[in-house]
Amino acid sequence: MDSSRINADGFAAKMRVGDGNTFVNCISHHNIDDGWDLFNKVEDGEDGVVTIKNSVSYSNGRTLDDDNDGNTIGNGFKLGGEGLPVAHVLENNVSYNNNMDGVTDNFNSGSLKIRHVLSVDNARFNFLIRKSPYDDSAASERTFEHNLSDRVNRSSKYNDVVYAHHTSDNWLMQDGESLNSAGEALDQTLAAEIKAAVAYDDGTAAGQRKAALALKAINDARD
């Protein structure tokens, strides 16, 4: 156990990590900090690109024995840090019920590639991809495609934030509703499937796992 209760991540490909690290078919859950932490320190220079595919991050920011309701730690996928530009890749992943953000740039100013990610019921933002206060030159090269954000049991006062080139096939939380860029609501059948998946979560570790894997099956089946 991390004695500080804030620093134990599931997968930590960070701080001087080289190119070519890829995570495929992985699950990260009930870590006291982030599910995936790709934090990058300024003094280390730019890390290598990390790719995460077909993976699930759920119920992080808490352990099996500690709910940790402060909502100040526990991202699903943290994609960098401190303004350094690294073009990390997320593809076909699920972020569910994490104690902070589902997917966050963490001030990575690089050309992130985020595609086919389902982010549901994370405490703060489901997606937080900001305009960089450090260097905005790579923003036009960021891609955000076919991603879906939804809320069933966990509301938030925050709308999703995506500062990137994004296609019309994304659904983001805006004023409590999952909408595409045309303002159209999420398909009712798909919304019902997501709701049914989340219903497996009865607050137990087994229920949370069942819900997360049901969401992964839904995401795999999306066109």
- Does residue 118 contact residue 152 with C-beta atoms inside 8 Å? no
Q: How many domains, in total, are found in the chain?
A: 1
Tokens of 132: 């960089």
pLDDT digits (tens, 9 = 90+) for 169-207: 999 999 999 999 999 999 999 999 999 999 999 999 999
CA distances, 196 to each of 11, 31, 77, 210, 219 (Å): 29, 25, 24, 11, 14
CATH number at residue 46: 2.160.20.10
Q: How far apart are CA 170 and CA 104, in angstroms?
A: 16
Residue 145 lies in a domain: yes
Residue 103 lies in a domain: yes
Residue 195 lies in a domain: no
| pLDDT score for 1 | 52
The reply to whether 78 belongs to the active site is yes
Q: What is the pTM of this model?
A: 0.94
Range of the domain at 50: 11-188
pLDDT digits (tens, 9 = 90+) for 123-141: 999 999 998 888 878 778 8
Residue 199 lies in a domain: no
Where the chain has pLDDT below 70, the residues are 1-7, 67-72
- Does residue 68 contact residue 62 with C-beta atoms inside 8 Å? yes
Residue 221 lies in a domain: no
Q: How far apart are CA 99 and CA 67, in angstroms?
A: 9
Q: Which of 78, 113, 157, 195 is catalytic?
A: 78
β-strands 172-174, 177-179: how paired?
antiparallel
Residue 51 lies in a domain: yes
